[in-house]
């Protein structure tokens, strides 16, 4: 409770806004001004009037907020909160891939470093990837990095063939078809929602393949009363809070992103108290990465 009060006081003093991803700890989501998926958070970051943004999530998300707000202070409470998938391709590796594929369009999942975004024509999130990728014609050569699973999912939906970088999310890789079948047997009739970062067989075993924001919408709008949730367990807090009359079962309680759990009420309060850790992006990289992010945000 002390930390919650301190956060409220410091937030007002610093003219700060707190943005949190759907996977963060429930108590962090509860003190945030806005909780959402990567796309919703990026859009929200373009609307901030406060002087300071405290980003509760992982580094690439805070970096995206900074790129969209070069004149604001963006803080991340725990700077070691990275995304292992984002680190599976470097700017140099992408430059090499582009050199081998002249004329190809480079597309990155927003789960990527600013340096990688700076090399890309456009970004996508799991919430808008199908719409964004539909902009490309059937004859265009596409290099999709770093997530082979999201890229494979969209290529399948649109009937295209992309060059996929072999990156993946270690947290979603732990979701198995056997676990989905076990959950279906335990809760017959409950629709299964999985994140498109899951492997192909897991996506095929599910009923819905959705971003975390898409899962929140589906749960709200569906007439089903019970749902099986195949993604990071942090989303359950929001699903249960927004739909108290419905029941949500995780495919497994062990689907945890350790980096998303690094933000706590204590380090969030500390972050506002001492104004750390400030996210910075070199100007040239920020300018080029902004181009890719803004191209994505222009797709309504």
For position 125 contacting ligand 13P by CB under 6 A, the verdict is yes
Candidates 29, 64, 111, 128: give the one binding ligand SF4 (CB under 6 A).
Answer: 111
For position 35 contacting ligand 13P by CB under 6 A, the verdict is no
- Choose between 111 and 271: whose C-beta lies nearer to ligand 13P: 111
* Measured distance CA(173)–CA(149) in Å, rounded: 10
- Choose between 64 and 125: whose C-beta lies nearer to ligand 13P: 125
Is the four-CA dihedral 44, 45, 51, 53 of positive or negative sign?
positive
The answer to whether residues 130 and 144 touch, using CB atoms and an 8 Å cutoff, is: no
For position 111 contacting ligand 13P by CB under 6 A, the verdict is yes
Is the four-CA dihedral 206, 207, 210, 213 of positive or negative sign?
negative
Question: Contacts with ligand 13P in 212-241 (CB under 6 A)?
Answer: 212
| Strands lying side by side in the sheet with 208-209 | 208-209, 192-194, 226-230, 247-250
The answer to whether residues 171 and 162 touch, using CB atoms and an 8 Å cutoff, is: no
* Measured distance CA(30)–CA(28) in Å, rounded: 5
For position 42 contacting ligand SF4 by CB under 6 A, the verdict is no
From residue 151 to residue 190, the character string flagging contacts with ligand 13P as x (rule: CB under 6 A) and all else as - is: ------------------x---------------------
Candidates 24, 38, 128, 148: give the one binding ligand 13P (CB under 6 A).
Answer: 38
51: phi then psi, degrees, rounded to nearest 5? -85, -25
Residue 66's binding partner among ligand 13P, ligand SF4, none (Cβ under 5 to 8 angstroms by kind) is none
For position 260 contacting ligand SF4 by CB under 6 A, the verdict is yes
Residue 127's binding partner among ligand 13P, ligand SF4, none (Cβ under 5 to 8 angstroms by kind) is ligand 13P
The answer to whether residues 118 and 292 touch, using CB atoms and an 8 Å cutoff, is: yes
Q: Which residues contact 121 (CB under 8 A, 6 or more apart)?
A: 105, 106, 107, 292, 295
Binding site for ligand SF4 (CB under 6 A): 58, 83-85, 111, 169-172, 197, 232, 257, 259-260
Binding site for ligand 13P (CB under 6 A): 22, 37-38, 111, 125-127, 169, 195, 197, 211-212
């Amino acid at each position: 409770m002390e930390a919650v009060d301190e956060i409220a006081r410091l937030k007002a003093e610093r003219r700060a806004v707190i943005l949190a991803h759907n996977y963060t700890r429930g108590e962090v989501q509860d003190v945030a001004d806005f909780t959402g998926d990567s796309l919703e958070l990026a859009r929200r970051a373009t609307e901030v009037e406060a002087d300071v943004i405290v980003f509760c999530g992982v580094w690439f998300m805070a970096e995206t907020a900074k790129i969209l707000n070069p004149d604001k202070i963006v803080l991340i409470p725990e700077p070691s909160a990275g995304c292992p998938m984002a680190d599976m391709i470097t700017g140099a590796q992408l430059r090499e891939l582009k050199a081998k594929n002249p004329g190809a369009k480079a597309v990155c999942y927003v789960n990527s470093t600013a340096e990688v975004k700076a090399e890309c024509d456009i970004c996508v999130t799991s919430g808008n990837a199908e719409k964004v990728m539909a902009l490309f014609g059937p004859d265009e050569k596409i290099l999709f990095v770093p997530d082979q699973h999201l890229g494979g999912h969209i290529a399948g939906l649109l009937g295209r063939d992309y060059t996929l970088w072999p990156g993946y999310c270690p947290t979603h890789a732990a979701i198995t078809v056997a676990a989905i079948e076990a959950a279906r047997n335990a809760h017959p009739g409950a629709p299964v929602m999985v994140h498109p970062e899951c492997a192909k067989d897991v996506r095929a075993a599910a009923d819905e393949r959705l971003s975390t924001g898409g899962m929140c919408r589906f749960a709200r709008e569906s007439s089903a009363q019970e749902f099986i949730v195949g993604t990071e367990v942090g989303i359950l807090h929001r699903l249960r809070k927004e739909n108290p009359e419905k029941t949500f079962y995780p495919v497994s309680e062990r689907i945890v992103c350790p980096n998303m759990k690094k933000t706590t009420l204590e380090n969030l309060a500390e972050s506002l108290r001492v104004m750390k850790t400030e996210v910075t992006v070199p100007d040239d990289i920020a300018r080029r990465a902004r181009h890719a992010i803004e191209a994505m945000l222009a797709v309504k």
